[in-house]
Structure 1
């Protein structure tokens, strides 16, 4: 199966049904109109001399034009290369060159940045000029080979050399099948998108369309507008990244809101910790679903809202629980310790083909059909997968291993602590020292010695932080991960 065929089938099933709605511009497309726009986009690329198989970079925010280009590249035999507009000029240029892209399509918001890239030799073209709906019927598009490259997705933040995950039509179809089966959306259900669509989120939006649902493109996330939009458009599904969820809770609080059409909010497992989990579960009256995956293996496990609610009704916090593997996905725990905790390995059709032009790196994470996720976890007696941290974050101190998550939980149980991040710092005698960076609740006061005493009552001696640092906030990426390089720079500045 391929992306072109799936989109064509959706247009045949629901030709007159609404597919895309962009309130900011008033633009609406039916499934038939969307399908024709994708074909017209391919013809426009033909007119620009962009050959089949060529890489086309996208520099734009979530919009109807963006999705036409994103899906149009894949449906018409080109390779989508979505770029993060927040990257610096140098980082964007490095990704462009690494991909060997032949064209960069940009929206008006990034015209100045596109001009700078063009001055560096990048072939840039306005996105909107290629995304018009065809005035008359166009012939059906041909199917694409299942093993043809469909997407390059750059990951790894803003440090180091570019690293692009390769997805073929076959693997993306595996991802789409997982999402359609897990979410179980019905034709006519509305999904509100307020997320950036790079590097892989556009695929989750596509899965909703392939269920016959309507997608409302809500523009950039506004914490004061979000709940109102859920009501206004009678939204059934939405998804937030960690930074958005935190802003929403700070703006709206956690009192339950009345949303009669709402079914669930999809949240990545990394976002649901402590107060965030409690607040979001309360705000949405239990309609919280958890997904687990990564760009290399999107949507591999899922915990539906009903199962999340059942766990919490049984007295569990459900923190770290990410549900069961989806459809053809396999999960196993490698080199488990006495508690059953080890590295999570994934297999299945949703796996990436590898890293673009990096066979050595690919070989370190893809082994005999299994993806080494770098995550620590365990399969519980009830069969649910529980994520417990990152392998590379394990601290080796004096010959003993310390899992940062365990220390973070101990710190977070102190009433004055809002957030805690635990890491290992080099030490000549011990190899690494356990250190903690803590964000306090507003107005709260506690000393480093007080937190160390609190931990000694809960943890083995070697797990108690040797140093505790206090910050106003932890430096995080858009997806909620603490950025170690930035954190170390902040701590170095604070120590001066």
Structure 2
């Protein structure tokens, strides 16, 4: 059987026609798998009528909702290529992705009229079909078509399947924390293996109700959306991230599992709404983008909730490593072992494999059928990232004797102090273990004496106070003396991108004064 992700929805609709597929909390919409498949067919027929063909790129600028999901499956069925765009980007960044991908069709929320108007005025895009979602309460624009009117007037018959296996399914642009975003290309096979890898490593069951608070334009939410259809479980959609809405949805929709970045988990523990709603149905939460401090793990465990900690990339279609709940305390700071259907190795500068149990730091490399095909229209970057069947992640790590990986840092984030390599993520892990520290970022700043020295930018737990010497003393218990940060800045928040990753370039720009030594 050839793989087409859209066919999974058709199959699920045949097997589980009346099972609830997705619930939109804010808009109070509920779709069975049969209804979702019918809507997806209408979208597919509408796109075909607009002249979209197999291989054509279709951009989406959509908030979380049924339109995103039905569009994803419609594009998959007809063999076009989805380009999900981060809706937090400004017009110039959005226009860059439109131009780089060569998309000629766009589906967008009317909420982003201002951004799209600016793109149109810039005349830098090849978009021909502008399909506008959620238009009834807003005046029409001169260039857009009413998505809902066109979908409901289209036939609900299954379209001819236009792509299989290694044909492109979507191009997802990296967050662009260094340089221009690159479009990671993923095929139908890539997504199929990403789903299987996650499903066979974590504990998702038929009947589970999975909360979806993260943006669907990110691989960390798009893969779970696909998994839910594959598994026959139910997705509970949050259009916007709101703590009260999350807790209300968890109780009312009897959520059993979900994924969130550590920052959200911390906010959930802090918000007063936690006392107002029950979380008794929640079995586990998966998280990624940063290690979870011991104190936070213990707080969630006290609530009866297990924590999975994942490491993955857009380029790996999500899966990489996973730290299981039973290892969360003993292996704190680690992101676990390679997931099912994923191979892993750590290599030195010469490309030689570093043995497990060594204290040596090397680059983390991943292999598996879920690894991207390459970067869209960027052969140089592809050749750099994909070598001899391995994805070179650019992340530096150690691997212990039990095969658990601990990320030390990005290659480009490493700093050299007094001739010694220092990996900021290692320092961040240690500082995060201090009971008063909520989150922390470490960057290198210029030092007349050492060349570079680490600066720790710290967010303390609410109501806590700490002196530099207290944190220095904590670090000395866990780090070699040359690694211990001597410089500190205390802040209320750290800048992060949409996927929850620290924006260290922004911090380096803000904290660019040299150390006093």
**1:47-83 CA distance string (max 9 Å, x none):** 2122221111111100111111122212221111111
Q: Is the contact made by 2:407 and 2:425 (CA closer than 8 Å) also made in structure 1? A: no
Corresponding residue for residue 147 of structure 1: 166
Go from structure 1 to structure 2 and tell me whether the alpha carbon gap of 1:172 and 1:452 turns closer, same or farther (over 3 Å shift).
same
Which structure 1 residue ranges, 5 or more long, are not aligned?
A: none
Go from structure 1 to structure 2 and tell me whether the alpha carbon gap of 1:414 and 1:64 turns closer, same or farther (over 3 Å shift).
closer
319, 335, 352: which is aligned to 2:332?
319
Cα deviation, residue 103, structure 1: 1.5
Counterparts of 1:234-245 in structure 2, within 5 Å, are 234-245=254-265
Q: Is the contact made by 1:253 and 1:279 (CA closer than 8 Å) also made in structure 2? A: no
Corresponding residue for residue 421 of structure 2: 401
Go from structure 1 to structure 2 and tell me whether the alpha carbon gap of 1:158 and 1:105 turns closer, same or farther (over 3 Å shift).
farther
Go from structure 1 to structure 2 and tell me whether the alpha carbon gap of 1:454 and 1:178 turns closer, same or farther (over 3 Å shift).
closer
Work out whether 1:280 is the aligned partner of 2:300.
Answer: yes
* Larger displacement relative to structure 2 (428-437 or 146-155): 428-437
CA distance in 2, matches of 1:269, 1:256: 29
Corresponding residue for residue 11 of structure 2: 9
Go from structure 1 to structure 2 and tell me whether the alpha carbon gap of 1:248 and 1:418 turns closer, same or farther (over 3 Å shift).
closer
Cα deviation, residue 25, structure 1: 2.6
Corresponding residue for residue 75 of structure 2: 73
Corresponding residue for residue 142 of structure 2: none
Counterparts of 1:260-271 in structure 2, within 5 Å, are 260-268=280-288, 270-271=290-291
Q: Is the contact made by 1:397 and 1:433 (CA closer than 8 Å) also made in structure 2? A: yes
Go from structure 1 to structure 2 and tell me whether the alpha carbon gap of 1:253 and 1:318 turns closer, same or farther (over 3 Å shift).
farther
TM-score, normalising length: structure 1:
0.88
Counterparts of 1:43-54 in structure 2, within 5 Å, are 43-54=45-56
Go from structure 1 to structure 2 and tell me whether the alpha carbon gap of 1:478 and 1:145 turns closer, same or farther (over 3 Å shift).
closer
Alignment RMSD = 2.9
Work out the number of aligned pairs and report it: 488
Corresponding residue for residue 23 of structure 1: 25
Cα deviation, residue 481, structure 1: 2.2
* Larger displacement relative to structure 2 (56-65 or 260-269): 260-269
Go from structure 1 to structure 2 and tell me whether the alpha carbon gap of 1:440 and 1:482 turns closer, same or farther (over 3 Å shift).
same
- SS across alignment from 1:192: strand
Q: Is the contact made by 2:282 and 2:305 (CA closer than 8 Å) also made in structure 1? A: no
**1:287-315 CA distance string (max 9 Å, x none):** 222222110013434547xx41x335xxx
Go from structure 1 to structure 2 and tell me whether the alpha carbon gap of 1:282 and 1:65 turns closer, same or farther (over 3 Å shift).
same
Work out whether 1:126 is the aligned partner of 2:151.
Answer: no
Cα deviation, residue 256, structure 1: 12
Corresponding residue for residue 107 of structure 2: 105
Q: Is the contact made by 2:208 and 2:255 (CA closer than 8 Å) also made in structure 1? A: yes
CA distance in 1, matches of 2:310, 2:277: 23
Corresponding residue for residue 82 of structure 1: 84
**1:364-409 CA distance string (max 9 Å, x none):** 1111010111223334333433434333322222221222234334
Corresponding residue for residue 351 of structure 2: none
Cα deviation, residue 416, structure 1: 5.2
Go from structure 1 to structure 2 and tell me whether the alpha carbon gap of 1:66 and 1:397 turns closer, same or farther (over 3 Å shift).
same
Q: Is the contact made by 1:149 and 1:166 (CA closer than 8 Å) also made in structure 2? A: yes
Counterparts of 1:371-410 in structure 2, within 5 Å, are 371-410=391-430
- SS across alignment from 2:243: coil
Cα deviation, residue 33, structure 1: 2.0
CA distance in 1, matches of 2:435, 2:404: 30
Which structure 2 residue ranges, 5 or more long, are not aligned?
A: 135-145, 349-353
Q: Is the contact made by 2:413 and 2:423 (CA closer than 8 Å) also made in structure 1? A: yes
**1:312-361 CA distance string (max 9 Å, x none):** 5xxx3532333332332111111238415422210000100111111111
Go from structure 1 to structure 2 and tell me whether the alpha carbon gap of 1:278 and 1:152 turns closer, same or farther (over 3 Å shift).
same
CA distance in 2, matches of 1:275, 1:477: 24
Go from structure 1 to structure 2 and tell me whether the alpha carbon gap of 1:117 and 1:435 turns closer, same or farther (over 3 Å shift).
same
CA distance in 2, matches of 1:406, 1:148: 40
**1:106-152 CA distance string (max 9 Å, x none):** 11211232222222334322136445467875145426221211111
* Larger displacement relative to structure 2 (107-116 or 382-391): 382-391
* Larger displacement relative to structure 2 (162-171 or 453-462): 453-462
CA distance in 2, matches of 1:468, 1:318: 27
CA distance in 2, matches of 1:172, 1:383: 26
Corresponding residue for residue 224 of structure 1: 244
175, 186, 198: which is aligned to 1:179?
198
Cα deviation, residue 447, structure 1: 4.7
CA distance in 1, matches of 2:249, 2:160: 35
CA distance in 1, matches of 2:202, 2:75: 26
84, 91, 94: which is aligned to 1:92?
94
CA distance in 2, matches of 1:137, 1:467: 63
CA distance in 2, matches of 1:441, 1:37: 46
